[in-house]
Amino acid sequence: MAISKLQQPNKEMESCLTHAQLAARQYAQMDQASIDAIVQNMTLAGIQRHMELAKLELEETRRGIFEDKIILNMHATESVFHAIKYVKTAGEIENNHYEGYKLIAEPIGPVVSIVTDTSPVATILFQSLIAVKTRNPILFIFHKESTRCSIEAVQTMHDAAILAGAPEYCLQWLDHLTYSEMTSLISNPAVAAVLTSGDEAAAKAAKQFAKATLSVAYGNTPCYIDQSADLKQAITDIILSKNFDNGMMFTSEQGLIIHQELYDQALRMLSVLGCYVLDAAQCAQLSKQLFTETGALRHSYIGKSAYELASAAELSIPADTKLLIAPLSSIGVHEPLSFIKPCPILSLYRAEHVERALELADQLLELGQAKHSVVIHCQDAEVSSRFSDRLIVNRIIVNAPAIEGSLSFKDKEQLPFQDMGYQSSGHQQHTNMELLRLKKISNRSVDMQWFKIPPKLYFAAGATQYLSKMPDISRVMIVTDHNMEQLGYVDKVQYYLRKRAEPVQVEVFSEVAQEPTIDLVMSGTNRMHAFQPDCIVALGGGSAIDAAKAMWLFYESPDTDFHTIKMKFMNIRNRVYKYPHLGKRAKLVAIPTTSGTGSEVTSFATITDTTKGQSKYPLADYELTPDVAIIDSEYTASLTPAVIADTGMDVLTHAIESYVSIMANDFSDGLAIKAIQLVLENLEKSFATGDPTAREKMHHASTIAGMAFSNAFLGVCHSLSHKFSAEFGMPHGRANAILLPHVIRYNASRPTKFQNFPNYKHFQADVRYAEIARLAGLPANSTSEGVTSLISSIRQINRTLGLAESFQEAGIPSASFESKVNYLAERAFEDQYTNYNPRLPLVSELAELYRQAYYGNFL
């Protein structure tokens, strides 16, 4: 039999659960169309018997109002059907082609529902529909005082389901169980979820056994009538709601709070509309007769009419009284009428102001079992907002009856539990999750990438002349170093600024030193705040441009914290801290005078924190990209061969690392390869002869490589170099030159750990290095030959440029190096660029790279 009556509890429970598991397996083969057809047939069967079942329930329980039960049964069938008919619950419920995933809905398994004698028929009707809709077999446990009507309700839904093709054991029931038997059933591993309606002990037991739980209980629902309310509508709504089925709705109002401006008028209106306002003596008599010593309404009085309740307390009132109104001055267990009253009794409070109303509402909620609802009648949006902000509940109902949600389901994408006051054990806003298991099938998703360079870039010898025509500037601060002043380069910039049709004021900050510190940045920022420039010109090498970027940031956003902006991130576009938008107060113009860093076109600035042992931190954000870059090769004429060598190898490292980065892309690749070509063709000539054309090409290569790595990022060669050069005072480019051959060999070998980036499909650094060698005309008949050729070529360039082959040869003391190598390796791992290296390094591997570079051990 699909429907069983308990004879031997343990045996019968096991049999029901076995049958439920069989039904679950059969459900798994059914599609959405089949399920929807069954639900429709069940709904029609429920509608056909809704009056008969309402009458049967009233006769058996002797609670509530016949006409209201008829309405409630219609809502439990027809309204629930319309609320769930478009909800997808079987198989594929979403196929998002754009984001590459599917959602598959699966049933969670057998569900146990504990049904009390509070509206049992409506509960069974709607839960049966939901259980079948979600393909979960359901086992009902009935209250002893409502067995007959409950059986009829389940039998009705079961027969209709079977006729439409549902599994035979989709709906089952058991007679009233003892608490021990009930907990034994709930704890069974076969039970996936528990539904309870008004049985707090069952809900608590289910949660203790870690079962998914949907439970509804009476809340001590406060209802506030503000002075801005439409009073006639508010009073009508409250009487309608609290009187419905003699106050047995779980969401109905329990305590009425009225602003003192409307209090007397509201009392008169309540009386005129059929409510009876009790005096203090009558309240005391009612409390004594109807409530237990603990303050709970005696079970026998639940759902009784106002007249029956008054008669039980030996009070004389009109027979057609709708509600008993109990004016109170306090709230608490000492005042039973302030507690939950599933009957037509409403406690009443006067509020001198909104704050007092909030206090009373909060006290009422704290006294209740479930904090699911608050009702407000007002036309003042600020009052509604204060209640919403202050009170912790599932829903706030404004200018409507409290029971409205239980009778009209507005969220057509959710099962209607929350509207009925049910609360979930795990998903407060998504009750679907308790009865459905959503399985997500995700395809590999490719992240959106980006390419950003300065809005304007001017190049060629003499390009500084743009400053004579740059629009919308009147106060210019030049950020530079003393050497630029001595070489006359600051004078050149000022010459073009003075050629402007309208004169501009110029301030020079020439205190930038090699490896700019945060202290220097703040000093320059203070000068900017005093001068108030609308244009900042950064003139010099990478140090001057990086310093100017940081000053620009702190000038535009004085509240920025250096220790926050230097923090590591995984994705520059999705970082926790967002840089402020720059350019509101001043534009930044970058004019490089060396051919190395590429800072004039990048979103990076390297700043040294002297409080952390000379540690370099690469600040990174696209807001740091200059507005204008001027690539004027005339500034390179004074560069010494040593600077040419150091900065040139920095350019080559930029281009090679950006080409093998996990963020490399078609746009950055072309720039990286062109920069490599220009370096290989012109660096040695620029170093040896100072050839103007070669120097111009190297100046261009520096900017082109900058554009490549600003968008593809760098790798561990720079991570290692940042920490090493800061610690030992070695020029950054020289450190790169010594490290680069070792890093290439390391990156080209099989990784200990692979890097994770959706666009980087597989490890390919060795192939990419070989491509560079092939494009450079080096021997590369195989991948390994190409890697070796590239390493040999770089070592040969280093020798030609007179660069040491190892840190030891460069004069770094052995004892000092060995005492710091492990610390430096940890700091290098923390460096921002490590994230983008084609091979995810271990700290120990970074230490080994340092040692190879120190001792000149080439593998």
Q: Please give the C-alpha separations between residue 732 and each of 161, 407, 643, 651, 820, in angstroms, as whole numbers.
A: 77, 73, 11, 11, 18
CB burial string 551-588: b at 16+ within 10 A, e below? bbbbbbbeebebeebbeeeeebeeeeeebeebeeebbb
Q: Please give the C-alpha separations between residue 181 and each of 111, 124, 258, in angstroms, as whole numbers.
A: 16, 21, 46
What the block records as the tokens of 35 is 């399920």
Q: What is the pLDDT of residue 425?
A: 62
DSSP 621-678: -GGGS-SEEEE-GGGGGG--HHHHHHHHHHHHHHHHHHHHSTT--HHHHHHHHHHHHH
* CA dist., res. 142 & res. 115, Å (int): 5
Kindly state whether residues 259 and 115 are assigned to the same domain: no
Choose among 668, 833, 849: nearest CA to 747.
849
- For residue 503, being part of any structural domain is answered with yes
Kindly state whether residues 266 and 325 are assigned to the same domain: yes
- For residue 758, being part of any structural domain is answered with no
Least confident of 43-52, 174-183, 419-428, 701-710: 419-428
Kindly state whether residues 199 and 50 are assigned to the same domain: yes
Q: What is the pLDDT of residue 577?
A: 73
Kindly state whether residues 269 and 349 are assigned to the same domain: yes
Q: Is the pLDDT of residue 34 over 70?
A: yes
Q: Is the pLDDT of residue 429 over 50?
A: no
Bigger pLDDT: 8 vs 759 = 759
Q: What is the pLDDT of residue 613?
A: 63
Q: What is the pLDDT of residue 775?
A: 94
Query: Of 590, 618, 638, which residue constitutes the final position of a domain?
Result: 638
Q: How far apart are the first and last CA of the chain?
A: 78
Q: Which phi and psi (to 5°) does residue 410 adopt?
A: -95, -25
The region that residue 711 occupies, defined by phi over 0 for left and psi between -120 and 50 for alpha, beta otherwise, is alpha
* CA dist., res. 377 & res. 6, Å (int): 49
The pLDDT confidence band at residue 430, using thresholds 50, 70 and 90, is very low
The whole-number average pLDDT for the span 65-86 is 92
- For residue 631, being part of any structural domain is answered with yes
Kindly state whether residues 196 and 226 are assigned to the same domain: no
Kindly state whether residues 489 and 474 are assigned to the same domain: yes
Q: What is the pLDDT of residues 146-201, one digit of tens each?
A: 899 999 999 999 999 999 999 999 999 987 788 888 888 888 999 999 998 877 77
- For residue 763, being part of any structural domain is answered with no
Q: Is the pLDDT of residue 736 over 90?
A: yes
Helix crossing, 843-855 with 716-728: angle to 10°? 60
CATH number of 115's domain: 3.40.605.10
Kindly state whether residues 72 and 186 are assigned to the same domain: yes
The whole-number average pLDDT for the span 503-517 is 93
CA 465 to chain centre: 49
Q: What is the pLDDT of residue 505?
A: 96
3-state helix, strand, coil in the chain (%, to 5): 50, 15, 35
Kindly state whether residues 478 and 350 are assigned to the same domain: no
Question: How many distinct structural domains can be found in the chain?
Answer: 3
The region that residue 839 occupies, defined by phi over 0 for left and psi between -120 and 50 for alpha, beta otherwise, is beta
Q: What is the pLDDT of residues 641-681, one digit of tens each?
A: 999 999 999 999 999 999 999 999 999 999 999 999 999 99
Q: What is the pLDDT of residues 98-144, one digit of tens each?
A: 888 899 999 999 999 999 888 899 999 999 999 999 999 999 998 88
What the block records as the tokens of 22 is 């069989």
Q: What is the pLDDT of residue 432?
A: 53
- For residue 517, being part of any structural domain is answered with yes
According to the per-residue pLDDT averaged within each range, which of 74-78, 444-448, 750-754 is highest?
74-78
The C-alpha angle 732, 738, 741, rounded to 5 degrees, equals 125
Identify the bridge partners of residue 539 per DSSP, sorted by sequence position: 591
The whole-number average pLDDT for the span 384-400 is 89
Kindly state whether residues 158 and 246 are assigned to the same domain: no
- For residue 657, being part of any structural domain is answered with no
Kindly state whether residues 74 and 148 are assigned to the same domain: yes
Parent domain of 185: 12-87+109-216
* CA dist., res. 664 & res. 681, Å (int): 23
Q: What is the pLDDT of residue 210?
A: 81
- For residue 654, being part of any structural domain is answered with no
Q: What is the pLDDT of residue 1?
A: 39
Kindly state whether residues 210 and 226 are assigned to the same domain: no
Query: Of 191, 216, 241, which residue constitutes the final position of a domain?
Result: 216
The whole-model pTM stands at: 0.71
CATH number of 343's domain: 3.40.309.10
CATH number of 546's domain: 3.40.50.1970
The pLDDT confidence band at residue 6, using thresholds 50, 70 and 90, is very low
Choose among 761, 756, 752, 742: nearest CA to 807.
742
The region that residue 614 occupies, defined by phi over 0 for left and psi between -120 and 50 for alpha, beta otherwise, is left
- For residue 761, being part of any structural domain is answered with no
Kindly state whether residues 127 and 267 are assigned to the same domain: no
Q: What is the pLDDT of residue 244?
A: 92
Q: Please give the C-alpha separations between residue 196 and each of 182, 339, 780, in angstroms, as whole numbers.
A: 12, 21, 73
Query: Of 157, 191, 216, which residue constitutes the final position of a domain?
Result: 216
